[in-house]
Structure 1
Amino acid sequence: MSTIQLDIVTPERKVFSDEVEMVITRAAEGDIGILPKHAPFVSPLDVTVVRIKKDGNERQVAVSRGFLEVRPEKVTVLAEAAELAEEIDVERAKAAKERAERRLAEGSPDIDRARAEYALRRAENRLNVARK
């Protein structure tokens, strides 16, 4: 089967780099499946999961904001943060989720609501990926 190079990079490190059979994620326009020789494409990413298919197996990466660039021979995800499922600290993610929920429930005018909602989505995404 033909493959396509996938690189998932954050400002701190290269999270994933390998030849894969397929990449699946949610771009700004909706869900997208990327196979080798895909047409060039660029899209922003929000909090999402990048699913990686290789050798009949699937891995997942929790991604928090960034960009997706697709070329016929390569897919690049430039993300603010990204973690492979096995790297996620579940207890830390649960604590972050609880903090965000508490902030939102308080309803204080001093909180940055958008930031708290983003923290909640990010924590939930990390927990979902860790469970798979």
Structure 2
Amino acid sequence: MADMSVDLVAVERLLWSGRAKFVSAQTTEGEIGILAGHEPLLGQLVEAGTVTIVSDSDERIVAAVHGGFFSVTGTSVRVLAESADFAGDIDEAAARAVLADENASPAALTKAQGQVRALEKAAEV
């Protein structure tokens, strides 16, 4: 199976870079899956969305992403998020506490929603 170059970048840092077989992202137009050879595409990521990367070694990487864009060519995918958190780095109890807090700011609620979605997606088999 062909693979592609993938970069997952947030404003503050490069989260992941490598070769991958598959990338999926939640966009304003819906969820999209990308394989090598995909038509060129530019998409806007949703707030509180997720990105899943299946590396060329079959490692599954899930991240909560909060806004941004992604670009696709036949050989590469670049995910440029405003902020992002790997599912493995998310404190589930803290994220759920924010969701339960009626005084939480809209921005905090949105981020916590994305984090919980990433945790749920990471738990999928």
Greater CA deviation, 29-38 or 122-131? 122-131
Percent sequence identity over aligned pairs: 31
Partner of 2:4: 4
Which residue does 2:49 correspond to in 1? 48
**Structure-1-length-normalised TM-score:** 0.79
In our comparison, the structure showing a higher alpha carbon Rg is 1
Find the aligned partners of 2:18 and 2:37 in 1 and give their Cα distance: 16
In 2, distance between residues paired with 1:119 and 1:41?
A: 30
Aligned to 1:21, the other structure's residue is in SS state strand
Q: Deviations over 1:78-115 (max 9, x none)?
A: 1111111111122331232223xx038xxxxxxxxxx6
Distance 1:40 1:92 in 2: 38
Q: Which amino acid aligns with 1:64?
A: H
Higher helix share: 1
Residue number among 65, 71, 74 corresponding to 2:73 in the alignment: 71
From 104, 112, 115, give the equivalent of 1:123. Answer: 112
TM-score after normalising by structure 2: 0.83
RMSD: 1.9
Between the two proteins, the alignment pairs up a number of residues equal to 119
Which segments of 5 or more consecutive residues in structure 1 lack a partner in the other structure?
105-114
Distance 1:12 1:29 in 2: 26
1:33 and 2:22 equivalent?
Answer: no
* Runs of 4+ residues over 4 Å off in structure 1: none
